Amino acid sequence: MRIGQVGFGGISKEINLAYVPEAKVGNYVIVHVGFAISILNEEEAHRVFETLHELNAMDNPDLS
C-alpha cells in the first residue's frame, strides 16, 4: 500500500494513499482516520468565492 507524507499546517503525518492512487507530490488531499479519501480539486475550490463575487456583483452593480 502506498504511504505518503501529508502536512497539516505545520505537522506532518504518514497517510495511507491506497484510495487515491493518482495522488502526486504537491496535491492537497482530504484525510480521515489515516487514509486520504480524495484529492482536492483546486479549480472547484475557487467556486465558493466565484459564487460570492457574483452575488456581490448583483447587489452592487456599479462596482462590478
Partner 1 sequence: MKYVDEYRNSKEAELFANAIRKSTTRPWTLMEICGGQTHSIAKYSLQDLLPETISLLHGPGCPVCVTPINLIDKAVHIAAQPNVIFCSFGDMLRVPGSKENLLTVKSKGGDLRIVYSPLDALKIAQDNPQKEVVFFAIGFETTAPANAMAIYKAKLDDINNISFLVSQVIVPPAIRSILGSSENRVQGFLAAGHVCTVMGYQEYEPISQQYRIPIVVTGFEPLDILQGIYLCVKQLEEGRAEVENQYSRSVRKEGNLSAQKIIQEVFQIVARHWRGIGEIAQSGLGLREAYAQFDAENKFPHEVHSQERSTECISGLVLQGIKKPNECQAFGKSCTPESPLGATMVSTEGACAAYYRYQSV
* Residues lying near partner 1 in the complex (CB under 8 A): 1, 8-9, 16, 18-21, 28, 30, 32-35, 37-38, 40-42, 44-45, 47-49, 51-52, 55-56, 59
Shortest spacing between CB 4 and partner 1, in angstroms: 14
Shortest spacing between CB 62 and partner 1, in angstroms: 17
Burial of 20 (0-12, 13-18, 19+ CB in 10 A): buried
Answer positive or negative: Cα dihedral of 33, 34, 39, 41. positive
Shortest spacing between CB 61 and partner 1, in angstroms: 14
Residue 14 to residue 2: CA distance in whole angstroms: 10
